């Protein structure tokens, strides 16, 4: 057994990130400034996105993606129950009504057939979530949205850099929200990015910083002006140059980090599949996952212990884990407001109750990966039904 605890997903930070932050501190420009603008440009260029806006969280990006496309009170927005609370929370913040639908059993992404069945006259948007970094079935979802004149928003918190049919997620005109939280494939400690059509990004630029005119960040420079206009009651969603310095260094080594994630996934597949106790994550033809997560799903009746007990057994062996996710419709707020019960979305509920995400990040050594596999194998041997 390991002597030291193996964290689930610590940030992968090197000297390049440290030097970039120090350079920003020494420059005297630590809030939104030239590095933030460069990060936006470089990120858009990497994806081939029409335009990009750096913000302080993926939550902010999702919120802006809705409100800058006119989503508000009286509207319904279809999304998945198997996601983090922010995906559904921003629908409420916009004043709209979340409509949850079930998921696909293999990818755990939103089911296009369920989306189609849920469309009503009040439906104005769909938020799909690229679960674990695996792209949703975008052709099917886009066809439904085009047919019913709906906005398609992509929650890509897990999906940098994922590809669907050869195209990077975020390269199109849909609003796409990325997360750069500490555990993500690319981190700025906290932060996010909104990509999409230039006209939407222009509106989001104003909305994300108090409703000020678009170049308000320059007002402290020689070329800027102390005068500014307030075009709307906006938000405080801007990214800082300290964060952008991290992002620029992370973006430069993103492909290297993805390659390491893929190597770890291959080792997990090889070591865990023969145990015959779990459903392992998939990668469909035509999709390239960003491999943000490696979710194990305990097969019914395979082990003489619950999912929660499995997590505790791993913890006892110094292996950190997480759960992605506690299904949205089981939280008290949504149960009270919408009357949800667990079996309203049986697939999402089932997967939420049996999923465990094991360590997956580029800082894992081969020895770390072997320790995880050996710990899981030991539990299976001890608790085989």
Tell me which residues are annotated as active site. 184
In 149-216, where does DSSP find H-type helix?
Answer: 198-207
CB 169, CB 160: distance < 8 Å: yes
Q: Which residue has the tokens 């610590």?
A: 10
Q: Is 163 helix (H, G, I), strand (E, B) or coil?
A: strand
CA distances from 40 to 158, 240, 373 (A): 18, 12, 39
Return all residues near 227 (Cβ < 8 A) that are at least 6 apart.
none
Segment (H or E) for 91? helix 85-93
CA angle 315, 156, 335 (to 5 degrees): 70
Q: Is 7 helix (H, G, I), strand (E, B) or coil?
A: coil
Helices (H) and strands (E) in the chain, counts: 13, 13
CB 366, CB 267: distance < 8 Å: yes
User: Tokens at residue 25, please?
Assistant: 């501190």
User: Tokens at residue 72, please?
Assistant: 């508000």
User: Tokens at residue 377, please?
Assistant: 């194998």
User: Tokens at residue 73, please?
Assistant: 């009170």
Return all residues near 359 (Cβ < 8 A) that are at least 6 apart.
6, 7, 8, 9, 294, 319, 320, 321, 368, 372
């Amino acid at each position: 057994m390991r002597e030291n605890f193996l964290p689930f997903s610590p940030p992968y930070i090197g000297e390049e990130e440290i030097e970039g932050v120090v350079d920003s501190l020494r420059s005297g420009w630590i809030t939104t400034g030239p590095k933030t603008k460069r990060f936006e440009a470089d990120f858009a260029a990497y994806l081939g996105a029409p335009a990009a806006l750096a913000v302080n969280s993926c939550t902010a990006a999702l919120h802006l993606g809705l409100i800058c496309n006119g989503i508000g009170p009286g509207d319904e927005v279809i999304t998945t129950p198997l996601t983090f609370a922010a995906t559904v929370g921003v629908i409420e913040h916009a004043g709209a009504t979340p409509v949850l639908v079930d998921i696909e059993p293999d990818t755990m992404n939103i089911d296009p057939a369920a989306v189609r069945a849920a469309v009503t006259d009040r439906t104005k948007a769909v938020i799909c979530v690229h679960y674990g970094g695996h792209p949703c079935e975008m052709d099917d979802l886009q066809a439904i949205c085009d047919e019913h004149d709906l906005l398609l928003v992509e929650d890509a918190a897990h999906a940098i850099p994922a590809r669907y049919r050869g195209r990077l997620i975020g390269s199109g005109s849909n609003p796409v929200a990325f997360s750069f939280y500490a555990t993500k494939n690319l981190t700025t400690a906290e932060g996010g990015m909104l990509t999409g059509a230039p006209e939407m990004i222009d509106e989001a630029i104003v909305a994300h910083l108090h409703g000020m005119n678009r170049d308000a960040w320059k007002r402290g420079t020689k070329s800027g002006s102390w005068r500014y206009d307030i075009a709307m009651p906006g938000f405080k969603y801007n990214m800082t140059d300290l964060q952008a310095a991290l992002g620029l260094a992370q973006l430069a080594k993103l492909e290297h980090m993805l390659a390491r994630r893929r190597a770890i996934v291959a080792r997990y597949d090889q070591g865990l599949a023969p145990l015959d106790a779990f459903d392992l994550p998939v990668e469909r033809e035509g999709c390239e996952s960003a491999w943000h997560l490696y979710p194990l799903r305990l097969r019914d009746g395979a082990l003489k212990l619950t999912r929660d007990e499995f997590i505790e057994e791993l913890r006892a062996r110094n292996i950190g884990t997480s759960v992605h996710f506690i299904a949205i419709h089981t939280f008290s707020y949504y149960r009270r407001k919408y009357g949800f019960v667990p079996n309203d979305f049986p697939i999402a509920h089932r997967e939420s109750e049996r999923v465990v995400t094991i360590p997956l990040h580029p800082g894992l050594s081969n020895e770390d990966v072997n320790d995880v596999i050996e710990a899981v194998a030991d539990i299976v041997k001890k608790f085989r039904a």
